[in-house]
Chain A
Amino acid sequence: MSLPKPVMRGLLGKRLRFHLPIAFTLSIISAIAFKYAVTEPRKQAYADFYKQYDSVKEFNAMREAGIFESVRPTGE
C-alpha cells in the first residue's frame, strides 16, 4: 500500500490566509465591543456624576469634616 503524494508546499501560507483575516476581524470586534461595553458606560457614568455636581457644597462638607489644614471648619 503506497502512500499518495500529499501537498507539501505553501502550507503556512494557506494557514495564514485562512486565520489572519479571522484574527484581525476578531481583534477589531473585541476592541469595538470593549469600547461600547466598558469605556463608553464608564465615560457616561462620569458625565452623569458631574452633571449635577456641586463642587462648593462638596468642599464645604469636606471642610466641616476637618480634613483641610488651610481652612478649618466654621466655628473654630
Chain B
Amino acid sequence: MFRAAVRLSVSGVRSLTRTQPWCQAALTSRCYSHGKEETDEEFDARWVTYFNKPDIDAWELRKGMNTLIGYDLVPEPKILEAALKACRRLNDLSTAIRILEAVKDKAGPHKEIYPYLIQELKPTLEDLGISTPEELGIDKV
C-alpha cells in the first residue's frame, strides 16, 4: 500500500488508474507484479479454514482477527461465522461480541453493511447464544 501511495503523483494518478490494474490491497500488502493473484473466493476460503481449525487457540483467534481487520475489506459472513464458532470453542463470549463491534467499525460510513451482516449471521448468533452490542445496549457511548 505504501508503494501504491508513493506512486500516486498528482499528474500521473489519473492516467495511472486507467492504465495500470489497481493492486488488490485487500488481499495482500504486496503488489504482485508476477505470480497468481488470489481471488476473493480463495481469500475467504483460506480464512474460513483458519478459524475452523478444531483446536485453534486463543492467541491464533486474536491474531487472526487482528490480521483480518487490517485488510481493506469487511469480512464475509462466512468468515465471521467461523470466527464466532471458534470463540464458542474457546468459551470466549467477549471476543465474539467484540468481533461484531469491530466489523461495524470496519464498515465506516457505509451504514448498510452491518445490518446486512447481522441478518446473515442471525442463525449463528441465535445458535451460539451471542447477543449483539445493540441488544446489550453497549453500542452507544
Contact = CB atoms under 8 A, between A and B. Distances in A.
A11 B74 contact: yes
A37 interface: no
Contact of A24 (B9, B17, B116): B9
B10 interface: yes
A65 interface: no
Contacts of A3: 112, 115-116, 119
Interface in A7-41: 7-13, 16-17, 20-21, 24-25, 28
B125 interface: no
B31 interface: no
A5 B116 contact: yes
Q: Chain B interface: which size bin?
A: 20 to 34
Nearest to A1: B119
A8 B72 contact: no
A6 interface: yes
B73 to A, nearest CB: 4
Contacts of A4: 116
Contact of A28 (B5, B8, B10, B115): B10
Given A11-B110, A12-B72, A2 B10 contact: no
List the 10 closest A-B pairs by CB distance, nearest first: A24-B10, A8-B74, A9-B73, A12-B72, A3-B116, A21-B13, A6-B112, A6-B113, A9-B26, A3-B119
Interface of A: 2-13, 16-17, 20-21, 24-25, 28
